[in-house]
Amino acid sequence: MSIASASRVLNGIGGSPETTRRVREAAAAVGYVPNAIARSLQSQRTGLIALAVEDIGNPVYVAMMRAIEAVVAESGHQLLVHATGGDVAGETALLRRLAHRYVDGMIISPIRITDVHVEALTASPVPVVVVGQLPEDVPVDNVRADSRTGVALAVDHLVGAGRTRIGFVNGPLDTVPGAARDAGFRAAMARHGLAVDPAMVEVGDFQYAAGRAAAERLLARTDPDAIVCANDLIAVGALHALLVAGRRVPEDVALVGMDDTELAQMSFPQISSVSLGSAERGQLAAGLLLDRIADGTLAPRREHVAPSLAVRASSGSVQ
């Protein structure tokens, strides 16, 4: 019994009935299981696709992941997720290890873009798609949201509802989304002729606890009639702070979050939120990746997804 024959039977190519039987018996007897590593070395593919996000605890990434999974499963790939913790070293280490052909491709959504990222991205031996902003000259497939316009949607909505003392709780300014949302907030306020009171702006990280603490600080020193939050985790934290402080939402203070995750709908009252199209971005990113895996010579593409606003009880007329 030759190795070649065994391989053929196990892959369902040819083999006489007798040979097939003998191979199957032997395999069962030995408890044979194919070694996927060896197979991949030969086939130059693993059937695996990786997704690297900062924080898998943030529902926005869960939504993105589900959208990606649906697309890649279609093409017979399996999706693996890695949480980087926003750590630059961790992200690039991932690129170094995984991208060195453990996976057929990867989608990464970094919240910070450093030179190290750019270098690792361009040097990656496997196809990579970035979800998020990327310097213009980096030749990597890329799908981006427009959080600047997204914040403007929120501000426009609040101003239209008669709010003028609008607070803003943001994430770190040294992150790409944090910087974009800050700029978007200031631009939108200016457009409406509203000054940005420094006391009305708070910065934490993109988490619930930070959002709650930031909102508490904000409420301790000023009196907003609306608060825009840089994501839904922050918004839920701010809602908590508002309710604990005895503010009615939306009567006293209107609240708008961002990312339009499940969290916004799970809260009470439900929170208005700017959708940055996370599911759609995931779907597009997966498509770009599969295309590039199929043909590595494609020119880098860049897709955009427009924001939209979901108005709910937290900023709407009293339910």
Partner DNA sequence: TTGTATGCGTTATCAT
Partner DNA sequence: ATGATAACGCATACAA
Stretch that binds its own copies, among 75-83, 138-146, 187-195, 273-281 (CB under 8 A): 75-83
For residue 262, the minimal CB distance to its own copies (Å) is: 7
Contact 167, 200 (CB under 8 A): yes
Q: Which of 26, 139, 223, 268 binds its own copies (CB under 8 A)?
A: 268
Exactly one of 89, 190, 244, 245 binds its own copies (CB under 8 A); that residue is 244
Q: Is 74 in the site for its own copies (CB under 8 A)?
A: no
Q: How far is the CB of 32 from DNA (least distance, A)?
A: 7
Shortest Å, Cβ 19 to its own copies: 23
168 vs 14: CA distance, rounded Å: 67
Q: Answer yes or no whether residue 125 interacts with its own copies by CB under 8 A.
A: yes
Q: Which is nearer to DNA, 15 or 287 (CB)?
A: 15
Whether omega for the bond prior to residue 269 falls within 30 degrees of 0, making it cis, is: yes
Query: Which are the contacts of 157, defined by CB distance < 8 A and separation ≥ 6?
Result: 256, 272, 309, 311, 315
Q: For tokens 């408890």, what's the residue?
A: 31
Count Cβ neighbours within 10 Å for each residue of 129-167 and write b for 16 or more, e otherwise: bbbbbbeeeeebbbbbbbbbbbbbbbbebbbeeebeebb
Q: Name the residues that contact DNA, by CB under 7 A.
A: 1-5, 7-8, 10-11, 13-16, 18-19, 32-35, 38-39, 41-44
Q: What distance in Å separates the CA atoms of residue 21 and residue 19, rounded to the nearest whole number?
A: 5
DSSP 206-231: SSHHHHHHHHHHHHHH---SEEEESS
* Smallest separation, CB 244 to its own copies (Å): 8
- The encoded tokens of residue 278 equal 């996370």
Q: Which helix (H) or strand (E) holds 71?
A: helix 59-74
Q: Look up tokens 């000054």; give the residue.
A: 195
Place of tokens 């009171």: 197
Q: Using the rule CB under 8 A, which residue among 1, 26, 89, 93 binds its own copies?
A: 93
- Please, what is the minimum distance in Å from the beta carbon of residue 28 to DNA? 14
Contacting its own copies within 133-192 (CB under 8 A): none
Taking CB under 8 A as the rule, which mask of x and - marks residues 20-39 in contact with its own copies? -----------x-xxxxxx-
60 belongs to the binding site for its own copies (CB under 8 A):
no
Q: Which residues bind its own copies (CB under 8 A)?
A: 31, 33-38, 40-41, 46-48, 50, 56-57, 59, 62, 65-66, 69, 78-83, 93-94, 97-98, 100-102, 123, 125, 208, 236-237, 239-240, 243-244, 262-263, 266, 268
